[in-house]
Amino acid sequence: MMGHVLAIDQGTTSTRAIVFDKAGQPGASVARPLNQIFPEPGWVEHDPDEIWRAVCEVCGAVVGEVGAANIVAIGITNQRETTVVWDRATGAPLHNAIVWQDRRTAPLCEELEREGWGAHVTDVTGLLIDPYFSATKLAWLLANVSGLREKAARGEVCFGTIDSFLLFKLTGGQLHTTDATNAARTMLFDIRKGLWDPLLLDRLGIPPDMLPEVRDTLGDFGQTDGEAFGVVLPIRGVAGDQQAAAKGQACVRPSMIKATYGTGCFVVANTGDSKAQSANRMLSTILSQEQGARTFALEGAIFMAGATIQWLRDNLGLIADAADSETLAKDANPDSGVYLVPAFQGLGAPVWDAGARGAILGLSRASTKADIVAAGLESVAFQTRDLLGAMREDMAEAGIGEIDTLRVDGGMTSNSWAMQRLADILGEAVEVAQIPETTALGAAYFAGQAVGVYGDDAELARNWAPARRYEPQMAADEREARYAGWVEAVARVGSSQASVN
């Protein structure tokens, strides 16, 4: 039993702890759902105290099952961009966490664009100006939470993404730190220099003392203080969820690519030791950092993937649970002409339209709920194609090479209809990971490599094998006709077309 690694996976809709053995196989696993808070349309928040309690509960349960003596390290992975501020002395949150999906800072983003900050943000941070990222969320908190700016100016406030908040709590307030992959998602971090950008901090009125220390992705993140869940364990790896998923999928060489289908969908392509400049509104980001050396990636984000199925279930009542979507999709009319554009929180890459709103188009008297559910699943495939097309152009321009077969993970990969439709719309093979919890596995890999449980990246790559492989079956003319209809549907819901909606 010796040599196990505990992975903490704090996601958008749940908090999970999983123990992985030396072969990278999952063992004990405990999860808790996370409540979503919607104070206003377009606003999404989480209760940081609820997250902290859930981490303590799931870790305590797993450690109790496996035994602390059998765990050699902890790895943490987390929902990225979600923004927390807390009291430095007490660790108490000073506001609900503002979630990555939240769009309240769209007016500030528009103001930054008008002022001409776009080129600087892209060059320095690799990102685009968008409410998605942490920077404008933090600026909003400083401007709207009573007394927060004054407390921050006195050095009494910590800012961090979820990983940073958890590290602070797990270590009993000893560490205010983050890793490079999470820092790269704040829209405040110079990803080439590995430093917080003073110009952006000044423009947004963010005191530098609020910011965490940035460390390597695998290394020393202190140890649990014993009060969190009863034992002292070393923390040796931290990575944002999409970077962790890429590690779990063994995307360790340039041109290797993965897509994770969770609440949203995130496509990440390894670009090696150079920051690829995108001409197609993709994001450049840090894939990992080891001994100060950074590996970079291109990334595209779909805000609504599994969340679209949740909306069909919870808001429209078309399905009783997510598994029903596969059964219904099989009954849909393949010629219905129905498109669902899930722009409920705007549209992500490559469109980046914060003002876009969702729509169902192409309805007729003959349309059924099966057609709408199938359109929801198909929207994920269309958006993935949008991203891969843009990435291929950027990677060819950078001389990185042809994209490898798409490796996929996440909850939606259990839906065989959705995965076959993904292969059909892409016109290429799709490989599904053997272990669905690839994000947690990646966190375990980072921490386990730091303590010698797992071998180097080359060994991880040799050991990877898909559970299932889907080959395209749709005729090329049908594929292109369907995709053309999608492109038209997206154009109709854009914010510049507000009068149409």
* CATH number of residue 141's parent domain: 3.30.420.40
Collapsing DSSP to helix, strand or coil, 407 comes out as strand
pLDDT at 500: 28
225/349 same-domain check: no
- Characterize 413-431 residue by residue with b for buried, 16 or more Cβ atoms within 10 angstroms of its Cβ, and e for exposed: bebebbbbbbbbbbebebb
Residue 55 lies in a domain: yes
CA-CA distance, 88 to 93, in Å (whole number)? 9
Q: What DSSP letter does each residue of 468-498 carry, written as one string?
A: EEE---S-HHHHHHHHHHHHHHHHHHSGGGT
> Which domain-ending residue is among 241, 276, 291?
241
CA-CA distance, 322 to 294, in Å (whole number)? 38
Residue 236 lies in a domain: yes
Query: What does the DSSP 8-state code read for residue 37?
Result: B
Contact 167, 177 (CB under 8 A): yes
90/182 same-domain check: yes
Closest among 421, 420, 348 to 382, alpha carbons compared = 421
Residue 167 lies in a domain: yes
Q: Domain of residue 335: give its range.
A: 306-384+485-493
Residue 66, classified by CB atoms within 10 Å of its CB into exposed (0-12), middle (13-18) or buried (19+), is middle
| Plot region of 399 (φ>0 → left; ψ -120 to 50 → alpha; else → beta) | left
82/192 same-domain check: yes
* Contacts by residues 201-209 (CB-CB < 8 Å, ≥ 24 positions apart): 203/112, 203/117, 204/135, 204/136, 204/138, 204/139, 205/139, 205/142, 205/143, 205/149, 206/135, 206/138, 206/139, 206/142, 206/159, 207/152, 207/153, 207/155, 209/152, 209/155
Structure-block tokens of residue 459 = 């060994």
228/364 same-domain check: no
Collapsing DSSP to helix, strand or coil, 17 comes out as strand
- Residue 72 sits at φ, ψ, to 5 deg, of -100, -15
Residue 62 lies in a domain: yes
44/117 same-domain check: yes
Walking along the chain (501 residues) 10 residues at a time, the average pLDDT comes out as 86 93 92 94 94 95 90 95 97 96 93 95 93 96 96 96 97 96 97 96 96 95 86 94 92 87 86 82 91 91 86 89 88 92 83 84 93 94 91 82 81 91 94 88 95 91 88 94 94 61 26
202/67 same-domain check: yes
A 10 A CB-CB count for 184 gives 32
> Which domain-ending residue is among 218, 241, 264?
241
> Which domain-ending residue is among 221, 241, 261?
241
Contact 397, 279 (CB under 8 A): yes
DSSP collapsed to 3 states, 140-209: HHHHHCCCHHHHHHCCCEEEECHHHHHHHHHCCCCCCEEEHHHHCCCCCEECCCCEECHHHHHHHCCCHH
Q: Which residues, 6+ apart, have CB-to-CB distance to 384 below 8 Å? A: 259, 265, 267, 302, 406, 422, 425, 426
CA-CA distance, 483 to 487, in Å (whole number)? 6
CA-CA distance, 357 to 342, in Å (whole number)? 8
CA-CA distance, 420 to 71, in Å (whole number)? 39
235/327 same-domain check: no
Residue 76 lies in a domain: yes
CA-CA distance, 381 to 483, in Å (whole number)? 10
Contact 81, 134 (CB under 8 A): yes
Do you find a cis peptide bond into 26, omega within 30 degrees of 0? no
- Residue 319 sits at φ, ψ, to 5 deg, of -135, 155
216/311 same-domain check: no
pLDDT at 2: 59
Residue 162 lies in a domain: yes
Strands 157-160 and 84-87: antiparallel
A 10 A CB-CB count for 462 gives 10
114/192 same-domain check: yes
Structure-block tokens of residue 385 = 């194609």
Please list the residues that pair with 204 across neighbouring strands. none
209/353 same-domain check: no
CA-CA distance, 385 to 381, in Å (whole number)? 6
Residue 422 lies in a domain: no
Closest among 369, 346, 348 to 357, alpha carbons compared = 346
234/369 same-domain check: no
215/118 same-domain check: yes
Residue 170 lies in a domain: yes
Closest among 208, 95, 88, 89 to 157, alpha carbons compared = 88
Considering its fold, how many domains does the chain have in total? 2
Segments in 399-437 forming alpha helices (H): 416-426
